[in-house]
């Protein structure tokens, strides 16, 4: 808590922390009740719930990119405020969902807006901070997010205890109001977090310096005449992440490793319930354990990962930990209840530290390898990769670990190991080729 208190001395980070703390309580409330609300109150079948949640994730894939792209072209402050307001209103609109179609429309809008807001927030962090302070800001915000979601989950449990339609609806309205309350902090963000209004062409400075008076006048004439209006467009294209294969590779590998969230959210609960002798309550214990480890260790273990070599090392460590966690999870099958509990807890600890380290390394590399001229677009592409990974993760986890048992877990571990070591290789090459000027 002392570290977090010292972290918010920066005014921009303080605003983001308070806004996140408020709004993510609402997020925790909603996550706790959403599936049961769809099933028990709206009356959706399980396959309809899966379609609604899948469509929301799919909408977030494109909106992640759109949010970062817009953050480079309009005021990121205003964009984040508008998106947060729409997000809060969208959550409240869930109380008017009475069938599959209405729930689907609302979920797609909320999912798209949520991911666009996340990309915009990352663009703001990329501009408001530099070097290690960027990763530190991300680590602080993630810690605060976990604390807030845990609190929100406790509040959401009140609706589960009551079990009435009115209780569910009022608690969802409360979640939306918490999102709207967070906007009261976002309006305090300074203009410095917005993108520069003009992007100079890389070739413009040398040309102007070498020009004679006559050629300078000619250049001015062409500027007023209009042909050079294409120069900013060419400059934007030159700074596009789609022309940066290294960054695209990092995004793809991070998206693959990001499927470890699907292991925790889908794979482990179903594995415990269907393939081990451990009690189902262990699912909640694993979730709490993960939250505690993230809250305690995300900030200190993220320190220094703005350095490319360190970011690569922690990504490699995360790869080995996650591969080991997969094999240990698999070992719980067929064991007596007591041994199964111990094995799953050990695997969950390794999994949690793999999550913390992979996030720290990914943040550092996503910021340091991005072109600062298009910080928003780069962060949008990176967020889009995570959205794709989140969308694919449930299907991939169920078709490997939950279908083939030990062999499936081994495949899953090999995928995580390869993606983490691939990230390490990108970081190592980037560190070797980088220069102080770059």
Tokens 């690569």, residue?
312
One domain for residues 267 and 178: no
Using the 3D structure, point to which of 135, 165, 193 is the last residue of a domain: 193
Q: Report the CATH number that the domain containing residue 393 is assigned in CATH.
A: 1.20.1250.20
143 and 280 belong to one structural domain: no
Q: Which residue has better confidence, 428 or 236?
A: 428
Structural domains of the chain, count: 2
pLDDT tens digits, one per residue of 295-351: 899 989 998 898 999 999 999 999 999 999 999 999 999 999 999 999 999 999 999
Range with the largest mean pLDDT of 124-133, 187-196, 356-365, 388-397:
356-365
Per-residue pLDDT reduced to its tens digit, 416-435: 999 999 999 999 999 988 64
* E strand or H helix that includes residue 217: helix 213-225
Q: How far is CA 416 from CA 318, 362, 410, in A?
A: 9, 14, 10
Final residue of a structural domain among 193, 223, 255: 193
- Residue 1 lies inside a defined structural domain of this protein: no
CA distance 158 to 214: 77
pLDDT greater than 50 at residue 126: yes
In a domain, 227, yes or no: no
Which single residue is written with the structure tokens 């390898």?
Answer: 369
H helix and E strand count, the chain = 18, 0
Three-class secondary structure assignment of 329-377: HHHCCCCCHHHHHHHHHHHHHHHHHHHHHHHHHHHHHHHHCCCHHHHHH
Phi/psi for 164 (5° steps) reads: -100, 160
Count of residues in the chain: 438
The verdict on 170 and 267 lying in the same domain is: no
Query: Structure pTM?
Result: 0.75
Whether 63 and 178 map to the same domain: the answer is yes
- Three-state SS at 99: coil
- Which domain, by its residues, includes 354? 241-432
Residue 412 pLDDT greater than 60, yes or no: yes
């Amino acid at each position: 808590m002392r570290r977090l208190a010292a972290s918010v001395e920066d005014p921009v980070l303080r605003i983001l922390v308070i806004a996140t703390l408020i709004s993510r309580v609402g997020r925790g409330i909603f996550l706790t009740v959403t599936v049961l609300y769809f099933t028990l109150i709206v009356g959706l079948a399980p396959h309809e719930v899966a379609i609604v949640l899948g469509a929301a994730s799919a909408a977030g894939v494109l909106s992640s990119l759109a949010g970062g792209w817009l953050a480079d072209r309009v005021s990121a402050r205003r964009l984040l405020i508008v998106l947060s307001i729409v997000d809060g209103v969208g959550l409240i609109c869930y109380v008017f969902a009475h069938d599959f179609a209405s729930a689907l429309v609302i979920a797609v809008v909320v999912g798209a807006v949520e991911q666009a807001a996340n990309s915009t927030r990352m663009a703001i962090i990329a501009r408001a901070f530099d070097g290690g302070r960027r990763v530190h800001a991300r680590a602080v915000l993630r810690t605060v997010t976990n604390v807030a979601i845990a609190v929100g989950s406790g509040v959401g449990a009140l609706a589960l205890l009551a079990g009435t339609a009115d209780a569910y609806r009022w608690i969802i309205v409360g979640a939306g109001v918490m999102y709207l309350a967070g906007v009261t902090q976002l309006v305090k963000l300074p203009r410095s977090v917005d993108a520069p209004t003009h992007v100079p062409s890389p070739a413009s400075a040398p040309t102007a310096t070498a020009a004679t008076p006559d050629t300078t006048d000619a250049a001015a004439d062409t500027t007023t005449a209009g042909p050079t209006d294409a120069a900013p467009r060419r400059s934007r294209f030159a700074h596009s992440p789609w022309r940066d294969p290294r960054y695209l590779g990092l995004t793809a590998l991070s998206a693959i490793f990001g499927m470890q969230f699907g292991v925790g959210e889908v794979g482990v609960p179903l594995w415990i319930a269907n393939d081990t002798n451990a009690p189902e309550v262990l699912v909640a214990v694993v979730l709490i354990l993960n939250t505690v480890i993230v809250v305690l260790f995300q900030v200190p273990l993220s320190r220094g990962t703005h350095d490319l070599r360190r970011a690569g090392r922690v990504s490699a460590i995360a790869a080995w930990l996650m591969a080991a966690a997969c094999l240990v999870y698999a070992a719980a099958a067929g064991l007596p209840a007591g041994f199964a509990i111990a094995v799953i807890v050990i695997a969950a600890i390794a999994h949690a530290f793999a999550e913390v380290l992979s996030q720290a390394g990914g943040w550092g590399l996503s910021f340091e390898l991005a072109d600062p001229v298009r910080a928003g677009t780069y962060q949008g592409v990176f967020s889009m990769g995570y959205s794709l990974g989140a969308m694919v993760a449930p299907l991939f986890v169920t078709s490997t670990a939950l279908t083939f048992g030990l062999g499936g877990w081994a495949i899953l571990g090999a995928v995580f190991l390869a993606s983490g070591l691939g990230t390490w290789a990108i970081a190592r090459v980037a560190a070797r080729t980088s220069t102080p000027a770059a």
